[in-house]
Amino acid sequence: MLPLSTSESADKRQLLRSFAALSDVDKQTVLAFVEFLAQRNQAGEQLGASVVTEPAPATPQAISRPATESVVAAMRRLSKTYPMLNKDELLHQASGLMSEHILQGKAAASVVDELESLFADAYAKQFGEGRG
């Protein structure tokens, strides 16, 4: 592992201090979000390689929403439901919603509702179909 630069070291210390101040539930949420981002980055790196993959289906997959669902689980479900969408384009808005949940305490169910709308709207925009 390469040594950290001064700014990376300061960032790491700040991250660790902030993380230590969180409740156990919030720590789990942050870890799940970091895992989601790492998987997304890893998928992006894999796409950069010249690997032949099957094209994503043009219609959303029928994955039903559980009665109770975390925001991170909803992101995973919606990513699987809409594999044809470019997740990088949705990430900015989705991360804003996740921040509202993690940092501002917005209810998970409300954020999941908004994430579902975000993905459905992106699908409708890209494929010109009405939501439903």
Dihedral pair phi/psi, residue 29, rounded to 5°:
-65, -45
Residue 41 has pLDDT above 80, yes or no: no
Q: Assess contact for 79 and 42: CB atoms under 8 A.
A: no
What range does the domain containing 66 cover?
A: 23-127
SS3 content of the chain, % helix, strand, coil (to 5): 65, 0, 35
pLDDT bucket at 131, cuts 50 / 70 / 90: very low
Beta strand spans in 1-87 (E): none
The per-residue pLDDT for 43 is 61
Domain-embedded: residue 1? no
pLDDT surpasses 70 at 122: yes
pLDDT digits (tens, 9 = 90+) for 45-91: 655 554 445 555 678 888 999 999 998 899 889 988 988 888 777 88
Q: Has residue 13 been placed in a domain?
A: no
Residue 5 is assigned to a structural domain of this protein: no
In tens, the pLDDT along 61-71 reads 889 999 999 98
- What kind and span of H or E run contains 34? helix 24-48
Number of domains in the chain: 1
Name the band, by pLDDT with cuts 50, 70 and 90, for residue 118.
very high
In a domain, 79, yes or no: yes
Q: Work out the mean pLDDT of the chain and round it to a whole number.
A: 80
| Per-residue pLDDT at 22 | 86
Would you say residue 2 has pLDDT above 60?
A: no
Q: 51 in a domain, yes or no? A: yes
Handedness of CA 66, 70, 75, 76 (dihedral sign): negative
Residue 123 and residue 61 in contact, taking contact as beta carbons nearer than 8 Å:
no
Distance CA 68, CA 117 (A): 17
Q: Does 132 reside within a domain?
A: no
- Residue 57 placed within a domain: yes
Tell me if 8 is assigned to some domain.
no
pLDDT confidence band for 7 (50 / 70 / 90): confident
